[in-house]
Structure 1
């Protein structure tokens, strides 16, 4: 079932999660352990991230170097198919421009369609800082922007795609999700510029949006209002990230280019230990969630990475709001 159809069902609140795939060798067991926890929330869908491959050069001992391609996480398409079959809810496969050329993307989409995965989340991917990239570098014959990836997925839905130069007419049935940025994508010239680019994605076939994490609801509400003015009427789901260490308030703005409200900064800086950090995180996330639900958001989407510490924060928030 499409994510958007799940969001249309009547229930007290729509909730979803994002997790990272477990390390290779622990995939099935660890994923089931995480999902067993998350299913107690009765989520509408769960998305599984994809990690770009890392290319490094290691010395061979004779003065030469060999190229080593490392994939930090195993491929997630089989895992998504397994979990969707076991739990009966939509599992959203992340698909990146990074690490894929156009043909590899086509094969991934065909593989997804073959195992009846209908939900895909299209992202460009970030520069590989560890490899010295200051800006995103696409694969040869790969997509430069998420918009191009979205166009390719949409062409599959229309039955107008090509593979190895051969035109194929079989239509797929992908529900396409994409990201948006209430506080502006760090590469966008300004928010208006970013909204114009976002509208292009929607026009090319995006069915719903999930925001970058934010801690200031006003930034989200202002963004959604401007999005409506720009003609964007599809669901915009707020992405919420539980804080679990004091270090988060310093790392998240640097890595994700977001703002942390001063009130939250002061509260977290006063925390003396992890239990006080958790208490402050629960309080803030509860306040955020309650206000957003009152404003009629289509769902609450929690970035957990599959970490127990984050899931515990979300559980306390859930119990406070829904009992």
Structure 2
């Protein structure tokens, strides 16, 4: 089933992200979490590639299990920095054999052990590769707060438009915590002529440790209200969970009211997060 067929101007789609096994979570545990999330009937689920820099070979198989066994449309992440050019034909064959019709193409940031020349240089190149070879829905990433410090937002948007022109069907944003940042980005993207659906990426903050990781891994601005919340509840896990989900749900309710194409939840493989969101906000996605 092609995810690109889901989007419509009068309906906000809800999707969940899971990551494959790593040193902290076994395949059995990942599949158990995925099954619990699937029970909340998201519009689709995405499976990341090499969550910790290893184990990316299970992404496509997990994506197949989500769609073929759990009955939820799935999308498999692929990264330029994680797949040498010589392996791309085998990846294409694996996607086909596993009936995976939806892929999300990323530049990635893992170590390129074989040297730069062994990999496609940019996500747009991988988009073009798969667009030429198969009938896929192709998603890609975008960054409301920028991704390259050396580029202005206008320059980044020009590159994004070029990537979309290679055959991208929809975009998903990096996590953000201030909706106004997203709305400004969306307006600029539309003005630039980027007209594909843009999904808002939301990560509920349920521990103080997440804040440290976000600061290390992204340029996402953390509002004072969010930092106060984390400081107040950081030593009480239950209160922190409730406060973090409330903050994220307020973001999501506003985004749905604004008519965004979709909300993609970075779940950290925690089924309690989708459970809470669907319990509190489920009606918003079916209105």
Q: TM-score, normalised by structure 1?
A: 0.80
Cα distance in 2 for partners of 1:296, 1:137 equals 44
Cα distance in 2 for partners of 1:222, 1:22 equals 36
> Could you say if the C-alpha distance between residues 212 and 233 of structure 1 is closer, same or farther in structure 2, counting changes exceeding 3 Å?
same
Deviation at 1:207, TM superposition (A): 0.2
Cα distance in 1 for partners of 2:157, 2:256 equals 24
Deviation at 1:22, TM superposition (A): 2.4
1:45-91 Cα distance to aligned partner (Å, 9 max, x none) = 1111111896xxxxxxxxxxxxxxxx345432222223321123321
Structure number with bigger Rg: 1
Mapping 1:141-290, distance limit 5 Å: 141-156=118-133, 172-271=134-233, 272-290=235-253
CA contact (8 A) 1:180 1:198 kept: yes
> Could you say if the C-alpha distance between residues 73 and 143 of structure 1 is closer, same or farther in structure 2, counting changes exceeding 3 Å?
closer
Mapping 1:1-323, distance limit 5 Å: 1-8=1-8, 13-23=12-22, 26-27=26-27, 29-51=28-50, 71-72=54-55, 74-128=57-111, 139-156=116-133, 172-271=134-233, 272-306=235-269, 308=270, 311-322=271-282
Cα distance in 2 for partners of 1:100, 1:184 equals 25
Name the counterpart of 1:166. Answer: none
- Quick check: which one's helix share is greater? 2
Aligned residue for 1:287, secondary structure, equals helix
> Could you say if the C-alpha distance between residues 8 and 317 of structure 1 is closer, same or farther in structure 2, counting changes exceeding 3 Å?
same
Deviation at 1:316, TM superposition (A): 2.2
Deviation at 1:205, TM superposition (A): 0.2
Deviation at 1:108, TM superposition (A): 0.3
Deviation at 1:31, TM superposition (A): 3.7
Deviation at 1:273, TM superposition (A): 1.4
CA contact (8 A) 1:53 1:99 kept: no
Q: TM-score, normalised by structure 2?
A: 0.89
Deviation at 1:96, TM superposition (A): 0.8
Kindly tell me the number of residue pairs found equivalent between the two proteins: 281
CA RMSD of aligned residues (A): 2.5
> Could you say if the C-alpha distance between residues 223 and 83 of structure 1 is closer, same or farther in structure 2, counting changes exceeding 3 Å?
same
Deviation at 1:186, TM superposition (A): 3.4
Deviation at 1:127, TM superposition (A): 4.7
Cα distance in 2 for partners of 1:197, 1:312 equals 37
Deviation at 1:196, TM superposition (A): 0.4
> RCO higher in 1 or 2 (8 Å CA, sep ≥ 6)?
2
Deviation at 1:23, TM superposition (A): 4.3
Gaps of 5+ in 2: none
